Structure 1
């Protein structure tokens, strides 16, 4: 079972945004997909608190999927399905067999800055297909805005990431907004979060 201190710190803040964004739909059963679930801490925490959502966690690493299974077992949570292998950079048809218009909510936490631009494009292309009408894609992490990265800690993070992998780094919100729009979604809200992060809420038109 893997443990992420960052997930421990941010899970309640992200949960609050999720609960607020989905409040008007909380009277019905929803289906959610988490991309890049990592340790599994987030998805299990969300499932324990938002009992109207059934979650499908996913990750490209078997180590992460094993950790998710361990958290499911330890918490005995019933609304988290068996984690699947899913590479968001691939065409949506390869997304674990999920049919078109099958998801109410897709969540990607701390994914974009440690993956390629192709992955970010894939997330929006896939979400544009598998989200239901008015479905929501919520992303969380550090971002640039119109080419500007603030504060200095995020600037340093961006530099460090690009040194590790030239394809990594903080994505620009304006670029993501344009990709979203070209895939039938619009950026509905940008929410300031602790530690210089943001939640971006995109809605399928």
Structure 2
């Protein structure tokens, strides 16, 4: 039985996300990936950005095992061993990072995870460094895609604490933690990549 998990969306979105990251991440330093899931993004991005140390994290046992299994086959030296990290927790096992990336977590987690993400990023990141979010969001004045409306209903049916978040709410949460949104990138499949930077 293989420990490697597979998320089909990874193959579809990794190139567009990497294109955005190329213009937003620093040239060197440590990137903390929160909620790294299967580890497929971590392996791909570590290979795409060899001058960066990529540190994947996740709270789940199966995810951590999957990340570690992918890492075993990674030929480079810039992909760190995964660490257990719950975004909603007050204490994180990482004290500093030069950027933070979080893909497809905000909507598949309680609101406390989003709050904890920004609180943790405020502790780890220096002024001007980026926190990059990817996923679906609802925006005021923008007609939501029918697929996102259906997805939101299915998420809430699985767990009433889940659901696609309003971008305005995320912006307010970011501001409370000392972040300003500096970029909004439209992505395939009605997703967005949002970039916030420490003020």
TM-score, reference length from structure 1: 0.92
Cα RMSD, aligned residues only: 1.2
What is the number of residues matched between the two proteins?
196
Does residue 3 of the first structure (1) align with residue 6 of the second (2)?
yes
Match for residue 126 of structure 2 among 103, 111, 132 = 132
Alignment of 1:19-168 (within 5 A): 19-22=22-25, 25-26=26-27, 29-91=28-90, 94-96=91-93, 98-99=94-95, 102-146=96-140, 150-168=144-162
CA distance in 1, matches of 2:161, 2:98: 30
Contact 1:40 1:68 in 2 (8 A): yes
Q: Which runs of 5+ in 1 are unaligned?
A: none
Cα displacement string for residues 148-182 of structure 1 (whole angstroms, at most 9, x for unaligned residues): 66100000000110011000000111111011111
Cα displacement string for residues 80-139 of structure 1 (whole angstroms, at most 9, x for unaligned residues): 111011000011xx211x22xx21110000001100001001101111111111110000
TM-score, reference length from structure 2: 0.95
Runs of 4+ in 1 over 6 A off after TM superposition: none
Cα displacement string for residues 42-62 of structure 1 (whole angstroms, at most 9, x for unaligned residues): 011111011111011111111
CA distance in 2, matches of 1:198, 1:161: 18
Cα displacement string for residues 12-44 of structure 1 (whole angstroms, at most 9, x for unaligned residues): 11011000113xx42xx2111000000101011
Q: Which runs of 5+ in 2 are unaligned?
A: none
